[in-house]
Structure 1
């Protein structure tokens, strides 16, 4: 009997303790598993329907400056990030060969001009001889024979033809001189636009060979400190919304990784109709024009864009997360 009591008493104590603790344990687990709710107010304000896309920042226009003539680079007048103006000197190619060509063709032109003067003098003399021969023949046909008269006439006509040949040679020599002068002018590489040098592909002393392909020397970004383009690819399902937004002149907001806290704005500049298909997904290029007066936007940056499709004001708003909750 005592042995049985020794067994039952501890069991009774454990059972009583369990009976007391069980409700508390169950209450704890119930509280722990209870859903947590976040509360938000329903307010009135503005809502915007957007289409999201990614794009690449590029200059409005990238001008590739090349060389028309060959030769070693004598001087470099521009470098990376330099601001240049239209007509500004960027580089100089060794001009000695082209200067010699100009002098040669100038001398050839002087020679041709002198030849014209010589033939004109002979032609004037031939005309006088013909005039005198005709006057003599009119006075007395016996003073000069028909053969002599024909010889004088043919001599004048021959010199007239020689004069035309000499004048044509002058024009040819003048054309050669203009060509040589143009080649000499091409040794001075100038900027065709106002912009910023974003790439330099030559070094001093480097020899250019322009016989087969125009060497590329510089890449100049035009209007980079005023405007930049963002080239985005928009899914075909959204391109109709984008075109309507462009008609209403809706704005475009975007961010770049370099300035995650800055929100840039632009406008839809162009919706191009040339499609791109990648793995059966069709997209259309959309060009966004954005101001860049602080020059934060640089070529090649990745942009995350939000195209504003439609804006409604003074409507009731709740967070999107509330509509996506399923208990």
Structure 2
């Protein structure tokens, strides 16, 4: 056995020295790992160049769809409904038969009027014969002048009776025709308010309604500023095709897929609301519009102007401010405060804060924690945010 010649005090000093060295090595290793973990690679973000395109300003409004022609169908003669001649809710053409009112009383009245006309014509023929005979007699002084004038008046009275009888026949024939109630306009017929066997009162009982289908009207309200601006556009001749263009969307639609024009502006502004009523006309070949539907309306604003457009996902809110991150020198994220405008064709208009050529971070904005942070940009399209094929982009 080899004996150690170190004293206990020396052993304690040596142990303390070794422990200190071990602690120092451990601390150095932890510090190295901490430094390694504090320097992660730059985050990958999608970057798109801002778009500079002409945009058309639109003014938003809400309105209601209305039929161009809407008729409440009421009978012109009284009688019991004999037949409902259409299917409720179907489209009908102008002149189609909808209701039949019992025609028998009116057919009898026509026959009676025709009989009265025949008697009046017979009386008129007799009066004419008497007048002719009286004329020859008076020339021969066989009758007095008073008798001749009486027969002349009798002929005139008989002629008037014929004309009255003819008018009665026309009235009876017209009443008979009114027993067939026909569609006054083409459109969609509503529910039959009176069915077979019910009494229809002339000019009061509602039979059904008929509303036209194509085109349709959309009524909406616009404010004074918009009204004055469009009046100025009309005077300057800068409206589309000489008319105010509109775009319309329904409650279940995205955007404004239907186009039309304003064909009417009211003749005064409502002083209580500061708005003026307007009407747009739109084609409706596929029957998408139904009278009474709510409609979102955009009215054409000023003439097209150049604008900066970005994807709305790139916009960040900081209390009352809006900003975006652009990629600057050395692939670092730089903050740019902006003044955003309205959405146009799915992109946000930037009124100020950006210029043509700026590259905005669109995808992965949440990965940027502070301005000046390095990023790894990847080119994407501003519309849709999809990666750009470099081979295609450089053609």
TM-score by length of 1: 0.73
Alignment: residue pair count? 271
Structure 1 residue 266 displacement after superposition: 1.8
Corresponding position: 1:303 with 2:295: yes
Q: Distance in 1 between matches of 2:255 and 2:269?
A: 33
Q: C-alpha distance in 1, partners of 2:284/2:148?
A: 74
Contact 1:44 1:315 in 2 (8 A): yes
In structure 2, distance between residues paired with 1:173 and 1:309? 65
Is 1:165 paired with 2:153?
no
2:147 is aligned to: 155
C-alpha distance 154-259 of structure 1, shift in aligned 2 (>3 A) = same
Matches within 5 A, 1:98-113: 98-113=106-121
CA contact (8 A) 2:69 2:185 kept: no
Match of 2:171 among 174, 179, 204: 179
Asked whether the 8 Å contact 1:243–1:271 carries over to 2, the reply is no
Trace 1:247-286 onto structure 2 (pairs within 5 A).
Answer: 248-249=239-240, 250-260=244-254, 263-276=257-270, 280-286=272-278
Residue 172 (structure 1) shift:
1.2
Q: Is the 8 A contact 1:244 1:309 kept in 2?
A: no
Shift of 1:232: 0.6
> 1:253, CA displacement in angstroms?
1.9
- Mapped contact 2:65–2:290 kept (Cα < 8 A): yes
Aligned partner of 1:62 in structure 2 is 70
* 1:233 paired to 2:227: no
* Superposed CA offset, 1:295-325 (max 9, x none): 1111111011122213535533346756962
Measure the CA separation in 1 of the matches of 2:256 and 2:228. Answer: 29
Contact 1:60-1:229 within 8 A present in 2 as well: yes
Structure 2 match to 1:96: 104
1:126 and 1:152 in contact (8 A); partners too: no
How far apart are the structure 2 equivalents of 1:117 and 1:92? 39
Q: Which residue of 2 aligns with 1:325?
A: 321
SS at match of 1:259: coil
Structure 1: 5+ residue stretches without partners: 1-23, 25-36, 135-148
- Deviation digits for residues 59-114 of structure 1 (CA, Å, limit 9, x no counterpart): 12213332211111111122333222222212111111111111111111111111
Q: Mark the runs of 5 or more structure 2 residues left unpaired by the alignment.
A: 1-33, 35-44, 324-395
Matched position secondary structure for 2:209: strand
Whole-Å Cα distance in 2 between the matches of residues 243 and 200 of structure 1?
A: 45
Instruction: Select the structure that is richer in helix.
Output: 1
